[in-house]
Amino acid sequence: MILSWKAPVDYNDKLTGSYDKQHGAYEAALSNFDYLALLQGTAYPSDMDRPPVYFVCTREKLLKHDCLWLLGDVPLVSARLAGFLADATGQDIELIPPACIMAGGQLLEQPFYILNAAHQVQVVDLQRSKAETDDAGNVIYFTRTFLRDEELAPRHIARDAQSGDLLISSELAGLMKAACFNGGKSLGFYRAAGHWQPVLE
């Protein structure tokens, strides 16, 4: 089974990282960073700046989590989770260190990494899923997504080409659950049709 890895609907906004000092900023000042590059399922552009990351919450609160979320449904993972994923997924992901991480106005010295899926797949069931489309019939965004019951193999993590969702194999999700990472409501997955499945349950 394929699961969708993204922040839950009731995720704490103060634990969502921005790309500039202004909370909610999708762009980094004086930088060529484009967050959309992290939604393509391709290698991070070699000529693109690494973004700074800013959180409203305190350093202490941030450090209680192995998985946090940046704007655009991009995971920011602790060194512990990053090492686990690198061992488990091989070439499926890239781990990008931000230019800096600020939490509550203070520099965070502990390493966290932006997780980028380096591969793209097409597994959205277009006949069952619901989407908003433009006048030409092109999908703008999905309002309800169903995934075809296919394996990601040999991948464990990838981006869907049509929805932009970050996808994870149920096998890897099970291994993450067994490893007991910290995350509360920040670490979990969605089953098809939008059912939330926390890792910690």
201 pLDDT higher than 50: no
Looking up tokens 């390493």 gives: 111
CA atoms within 13 A on the CB side of 89: 30
199 pLDDT higher than 60: no
48-107: per-residue pLDDT in tens?
A: 999 999 999 999 999 999 999 999 999 999 999 999 999 999 899 999 999 999 999 999
150-168: per-residue pLDDT in tens?
A: 777 788 999 998 888 899 9
Mean pLDDT of 173-194: 77
Give the pLDDT of residue 135: 86
Kindly report the pTM of this predicted structure: 0.90
Question: Of 117, 33, 34, which is closest to residue 75 (Cα–Cα)?
Answer: 117
Give the pLDDT of residue 200: 43
Q: Are 55 and 4 in contact (CB under 8 A)?
A: no
**60 or 195, which is more confident?**
60
C-alpha dihedral, 85 to 88 to 94 to 98, nearest 10°: 20
Give the pLDDT of residue 128: 81
